[in-house]
Structure 1
Amino acid sequence: METKEYIDYIIDELKKITAIDSPTGFTKEVADFVVGEYKKLGYDAKLTQKGGVFVDLGGKDKEDGLVLAAHIDTLGGIVKEVKSNGRLKLSPLGGMNANNAEAENVTIHTRFDGEYTGTLQLTNASVHVNGEYDDTKRTWDVMEVVIDEDTKSKEDTDKLGIMVGDFICFNPRTTITKSGYIKSRFLDDKLSVGILLGYAKYLKDNKITPSRRIYNHITVYEEVGHGGAASIPEGVTEMISVDMGCVGEGLNCTEKQVSICAKDSRGPYNYDVVTKMIKISKENNIDFAVDIYPFYGSDVDVALSAGYDIKHGLIGAGVYASHGYERSHIDGVTNTFRLLIEYCK
């Protein structure tokens, strides 16, 4: 099967989606954009009450429906305090880690007064001044946003319209290398959103009506644990979370493979679903790895906890340096895309 057209489309969509700030709780702009992309493909995409995107891709058997889920909310920060020196102390959103956020450029989204830029820095960040620079443990209590405006006091910052509760968004720095590596913040999980858009395009272009009803649910609030807890239609018997595949020491997956998760920190995935994915991958020469994720939870975990009686699975392109400056590869995207196509036939 020739996939280049769809992989190019997926990467193009990734670039557009990562360019739109969307930390968890601040996702309306990116959700509206994704709705528009589905509508361009000819689908009647709608927003859920929570702000996610839900799409019926069609299919014959509505009593054996399948939901494919990915999430567009990301990590980020929210203003916790305007300090006396005019700088900002943050509360993290999701698993944003101060160690790998230091020195990152940010955008401050005010509620009524536009946007400002700044940089997240260690307090007293000059190495030539701070003799304890190397020994200071990076926690959110010792980090601050230095605003790119002439503000030296809380009153100065207040006049800009910046206040507690404003969202802080980190620069994604999306880059595609000549060797096919995809580097960006928030590949978790905007890369999978691109993959689901690519799958929807594949069905539409080839006039395919699946044997079972298939839905795409692009969730929000996944990074805080309740993204997939709602909006599953009647008749759905199975849900697959298309999220990042873990890459790291002690695991099998690389960035060039599709990862099939057998168990995460919440427990094992459905035996029959995992077995079918492995079988299909072997039969179709799809490069895959099976792994157990030690520190991970997914939208389908949440759906089960919410009481839905469904089979569940989790796949994704391998992603290294999760929740930091992440890296995947076009081959991993291709293998994930191919597994989706074969699995959903």
Structure 2
Amino acid sequence: MTEALTIDADYLTRHLNALLSIASPTGFTDEAVRYTARELERLGLEVKLTRRGAIRALRKGRSRRPARAIVSHLDTLGAQVKALKTNGRLELVSIGHWSARFAEGARVSIFSDKGTYRGTILPLKASGHVFNDEVDTQPSGWPHVELRVDALSRDRNDLVQLGIEVGDIVAIDPQPEFLDNGFIVSRHLDDKAGVAIMLAALEAMQRQSIETPVDTYWLFTIGEEVGVGASAVLTPEIASLVAVDNGTSAPGQNSSEFGVTLAMADQTGPFDYHLSKKLAYLCRSHGIPLQKDVFLYYRSDAASAVEAGHDVRTALVTFGVDGSHGYERIHLHALVSNARLCALYGASDVEIERDADEISDLSGFTHQEVPAAAPSQEIETE
């Protein structure tokens, strides 16, 4: 049955576009949670939420253990108001780790208790007619930008009258473009594309009545961009966790905007040997283009789960992103490839049955036996 597994690309892009239209910087994720939870319920899953809104959706299998989990995150980068300035503009601090270089010129929404205001993030010296060459020589960084509010805001008192306060959330417009050639350009593809991938994989499994050997949890977290991620959404039954997130397509990296990029390590160290090997095997045996990469300045939901004390096997599958944490670009080919892999993984047989128990003896423990290298050819010499 899995040989004929098909992903509905229109379903995937439709939900990606809808998710991008919902502002969800870390700390302001409720509406994205509601949207995703309703779709999971429509697909027939049993949906539970944590207190703050992380989603745990169960698709039951033939056995309860060792359960699997696939995870992506609903939260995105953003900003908060740090200070109301005397010139009537706002000083900002970033939500998540991203450069103010990518914030310059961004259109935004400011969420205050009195309503939503629109605005633009500008460098402090924004007018070439005033500052001449200083526009090009001023430093880049969050202390060197400010938010111009599109309302009467001549001074700090005007900002107070508008109801804008320190700590208000600022959402950055995604400005998505879905091109006919399959490229998608937008902010916040990290990780709303991962969420859309998981939904598309689930839709395919439900539509084609694909059975799973064990319970599979489909997890959606709300604090990955600030390092919390999957720290508090796993259950004791979960033995393996596959994160779906962006790969870094850039010079010096092996990621690609096509196919699946399997991360072998990030800044927290190598991912699980056996789980990563299985995912690579599934790609190769089902004709999914695959490349592997190592990320030096990167962490994901998998890292937060392990750091929180969960003894789970972890792996990271990614869709290559050009310009990560800025104006990001991906290709539909990678999204469909990753969705296929997620569905195939959910349907695959359990190979390490010992993982059903959190603690057990040596019986059934894994091996990391490497086959002997093929003998090298003799070099003929005169």
Alignment TM-score, normalising by the size of structure 2: 0.88
The structure 1 residue matched to 2:315, chosen from 313, 316, 323, is 313
- 2-side partners of 1:344 and 1:195: how far apart? 14
SS at the partner of 1:243? strand
Q: Are the aligned partners of 2:258 and 2:334 in contact in 1 as well (CA < 8 Å)?
A: yes
Q: Are the aligned partners of 2:205 and 2:343 in contact in 1 as well (CA < 8 Å)?
A: no
Q: Are the aligned partners of 2:27 and 2:223 in contact in 1 as well (CA < 8 Å)?
A: yes
Deviation at 1:32, TM superposition (A): 1.0
SS at the partner of 1:244? strand
- 1-side partners of 2:275 and 2:12: how far apart? 25
The structure 2 residue matched to 1:95, chosen from 91, 94, 97, is 97
Where does structure 2 lack aligned partners over 5 or more consecutive residues? Answer: 348-382
Deviation at 1:307, TM superposition (A): 1.1
Look up the match of 1:113.
Answer: 114
Q: Which structure is larger by alpha-carbon Rg, 1 or 2?
A: 2
Runs of 4 or more consecutive aligned structure 1 residues displaced over 4 Å after TM superposition: none
Q: Are the aligned partners of 1:3 and 1:334 in contact in 2 as well (CA < 8 Å)?
A: no
Question: Aligned ranges for residues 1-345 of structure 1 at < 5 Å?
Answer: 1=4, 3=6, 6-110=8-112, 112-131=113-132, 132-345=134-347
- 1-side partners of 2:296 and 2:332: how far apart? 25
Alignment deviations for residues 291-338 of structure 1 (CA, whole Å, 9 cap, x no partner): 001110011111111111111100021111100010100111111112
Alignment deviations for residues 79-115 of structure 1 (CA, whole Å, 9 cap, x no partner): 00010011000010001310011011000111x2110
Deviation at 1:2, TM superposition (A): 5.9
SS at the partner of 1:239? strand
Across the aligned residues of Structure 1 and Structure 2, the Cα RMSD in angstroms comes to 1.1
SS at the partner of 2:88? coil
Q: Are the aligned partners of 2:72 and 2:245 in contact in 1 as well (CA < 8 Å)?
A: yes
Q: Are the aligned partners of 1:109 and 1:168 in contact in 2 as well (CA < 8 Å)?
A: yes
Alignment deviations for residues 119-153 of structure 1 (CA, whole Å, 9 cap, x no partner): 00011310111131111111111110001112101
Percent identity of equivalent pairs: 33
One-letter amino acid matched to 1:324: G
Deviation at 1:200, TM superposition (A): 1.6
Q: Are the aligned partners of 2:201 and 2:340 in contact in 1 as well (CA < 8 Å)?
A: no
- 2-side partners of 1:182 and 1:98: how far apart? 23
Q: Are the aligned partners of 2:55 and 2:233 in contact in 1 as well (CA < 8 Å)?
A: no
Alignment deviations for residues 188-235 of structure 1 (CA, whole Å, 9 cap, x no partner): 100010111112212221222300110111001100111110121121
SS at the partner of 1:45? strand
One-letter amino acid matched to 2:273: Y
Q: Are the aligned partners of 2:248 and 2:321 in contact in 1 as well (CA < 8 Å)?
A: yes
SS at the partner of 1:232? coil
- 1-side partners of 2:205 and 2:343: how far apart? 9
